[in-house]
């Protein structure tokens, strides 16, 4: 199995956010992915923020998802899994938003596993949204982030899993189950209990991630309960060393599919193109094929930008080496005749040479306009070759501006000229993508971290909001607030 995760959490513009894709978009994307060797689709359809009674836009999306699953099966022979969280559903605000614009954290509600009335209400809502997508082969449930409930036990998590799997199998008796191992149910709940006990935000910001607190025994107990209570077939997605240790201890290595989350693209990230050859090589090679008998999964947040990394992930997953990477051939399979230029541009994005990046941005823009021949992977362009080329050129310009701004701040020089240059090239691109929330990844590293050197309280206040995990709703619109204070940097308060 070589799978790709399509994550619909973040609400931004088409075709950047997967939740905005039309059926035609999906068909083109799947055709391109199949040509690279992907044979498994893992989809989070955002059931976890849908209201108890789905809105018309929710019903429309679920209908599209059903058609996508059928198309993946019938046209490409792909297996399809849908993902849900163990205990999350839409709250009283969820129906106020159309599916395509719904902000997750403002609309999520966590169900108390010990409240039988709440659980029954939750399962009734699940029944409404499971039925349209039960043509999927697998139901996947993640053990944390989001989801969880302070004080809840692993046994309660498994109980929620069992009832949802049973419900899904009412509609599809052949459905399998996949346990997505992340932080562990009880570990995650204890983490949030400690966060809630923090009395000041500085303590919260300094609190370690649950990834640093993984407990093998939590995973062993959960796996044991699943083995005892859940009918086969089922498997597990593993990523951390503790996952491998727990499955090894229980003799469950044959159930493992390796899911190195964030290898193609970190999530959440601001939509920027990545070219991560060394990281992808290392991330895949660290786990031999014999240790992942159920296959390999990758994830992206903005699939229409991550084409080079989607290619690289498939290349190394299928046994390729650095010596036979053919990124220029892949470029020609997107836009025949442009492969060499696309390869140079993608490599430059990973570089540190603003002059070269700007030169290549101009070269890419010169190819825009007119008609384009299309290759076997052209469905991954989402019907607009010039949008693809324009995004590539803008990414090169944005990278160049970020490198120069960071260098200026590190050297302690007057930041305003470099800051204005960054805002000038970034603003139109940000508005085109529509991404407004907090983020990690490349933009955080190249912008937020250097900006901390300004020592400006208005800037620092927004930077802290990007890191405020106690209240994820505060992170909504964080990027817009940051751009606003940067535009007014140096003016009177």
Of 395, 468, 459, nearest in space to 437 by CA: 468
More confident residue, 209 or 229: 229
Beta strands 256-258 and 234-238: pairing type?
Answer: parallel
Segments making up each domain of the chain, as ranges: 2-328, 349-487
Of 475, 479, 476, 469, nearest in space to 203 by CA: 469
Distance CA 91, CA 469 (A): 20
Structure tokens at 493: 């308060």
- The model's pLDDT over 447-490, given as tens digits with 9 standing for 90+, comes to 999 999 999 999 999 998 887 767 777 788 899 999 999 999 86
Note whether 229 and 162 are within 8 A (CB): yes
Local structure of 163: helix, strand or coil: helix
Q: Is the pLDDT of residue 301 over 80?
A: yes
- The model's pLDDT over 66-114, given as tens digits with 9 standing for 90+, comes to 999 999 999 999 999 999 999 999 999 999 999 999 999 899 999 999 9
Lookup result for tokens 């399962």: 123
pTM equals 0.96
Q: What mean pLDDT value characterizes the chain?
A: 95
Q: Is the pLDDT of residue 202 over 60?
A: no
Q: Angle, to 10 degrees, between the axis of helix 385-410 and the axis of helix 339-349? A: 30
Note whether 435 and 476 are within 8 A (CB): no
Please tell me the class of the 2-328 domain. alpha beta
Distance CA 167, CA 35 (A): 35
Which residues are CB-contacts of 442 (< 8 A; sequence separation ≥ 6)?
266, 269, 270, 272, 274
Work out the pLDDT band at 206, boundaries 50, 70, 90. low
**Which contiguous run of DSSP H or E holds residue 489?**
none
Q: Residue 298: beta bridge partners?
A: 4
Q: Identify the pLDDT of residue 386.
A: 98
Distance CA 259, CA 238 (A): 6
Q: Identify the pLDDT of residue 31.
A: 98
Q: Is the pLDDT of residue 493 over 70?
A: no
The rounded percent of the chain whose pLDDT value lies above 90 is 91
Work out the pLDDT band at 204, boundaries 50, 70, 90. low
């Amino acid at each position: 199995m070589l799978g790709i995760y399509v994550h619909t959490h973040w609400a931004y513009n088409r075709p950047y956010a997967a939740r905005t894709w039309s059926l035609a978009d999906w068909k083109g994307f799947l055709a391109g992915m199949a040509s690279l060797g992907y044979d498994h689709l893992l989809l989070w359809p955002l059931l976890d923020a849908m209201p108890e009674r789905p809105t018309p836009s929710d019903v429309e999306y679920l209908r599209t998802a059903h058609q996508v699953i059928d198309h993946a099966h019938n046209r490409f022979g792909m297996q399809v899994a849908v993902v849900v969280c163990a205990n999350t559903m839409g709250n009283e605000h969820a129906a106020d938003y159309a599916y395509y614009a719904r902000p997750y954290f403002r609309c999520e509600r966590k169900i108390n596993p010990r409240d039988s009335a709440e659980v029954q209400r939750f399962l009734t809502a699940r029944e409404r949204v499971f039925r349209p997508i039960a043509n999927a082969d697998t139901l996947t449930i993640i053990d944390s982030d989001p989801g969880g409930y302070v004080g809840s036990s692993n046994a309660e998590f498994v109980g929620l899993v069992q009832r949802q799997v049973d419900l899904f199998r009412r509609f599809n008796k052949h459905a399998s189950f996949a346990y997505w191992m992340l932080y562990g149910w009880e570990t995650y709940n204890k983490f949030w209990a400690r966060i809630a006990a923090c009395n000041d935000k500085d303590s919260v910001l300094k609190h370690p991630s649950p990834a640093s607190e993984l407990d093998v025994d939590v995973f062993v107990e959960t796996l044991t309960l699943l083995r005892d209570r859940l009918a086969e077939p089922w498997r597990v997605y593993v990523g951390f060393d503790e996952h491998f240790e727990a499955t090894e201890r229980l003799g469950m290595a044959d159930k493992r599919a390796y899911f190195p989350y964030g290898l193609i693209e970190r999530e959440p990230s601001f939509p920027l193109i990545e070219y991560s050859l060394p990281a992808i090589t290392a991330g895949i090679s660290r786990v031999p094929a014999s240790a992942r008998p159920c296959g390999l999964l990758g994830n992206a947040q903005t699939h229409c930008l991550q084409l080079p990394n989607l290619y690289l992930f498939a290349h190394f997953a299928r046994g390729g080496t650095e010596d036979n990477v053919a990124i220029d051939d892949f470029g020609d399979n997107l836009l025949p005749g442009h492969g060499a230029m696309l390869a140079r541009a993608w490599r430059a994005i990973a570089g540190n040479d603003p002059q070269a990046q700007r030169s290549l941005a101009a070269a890419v823009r010169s190819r825009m306009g007119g008609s384009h021949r299309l290759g076997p992977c052209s469905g991954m362009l989402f019907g607009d070759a010039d949008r693809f080329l324009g995004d590539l050129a803008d990414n090169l310009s944005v990278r160049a501006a970020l490198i120069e701004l960071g260098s200026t701040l590190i050297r302690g020089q007057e930041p305003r000229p470099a800051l204005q240059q960054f805002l000038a090239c970034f603003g139109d691109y940000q508005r085109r993508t529509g991404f407004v929330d907090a983020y990690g990844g490349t933009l955080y590293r190249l912008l937020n971290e250097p900006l901390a050197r300004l020592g400006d309280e208005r800037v620092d206040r927004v930077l802290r909001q990007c890191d405020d995990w106690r209240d994820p709703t505060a992170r909504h619109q964080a990027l817009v607030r940051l751009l606003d204070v940067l535009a007014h940097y140096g003016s009177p308060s």
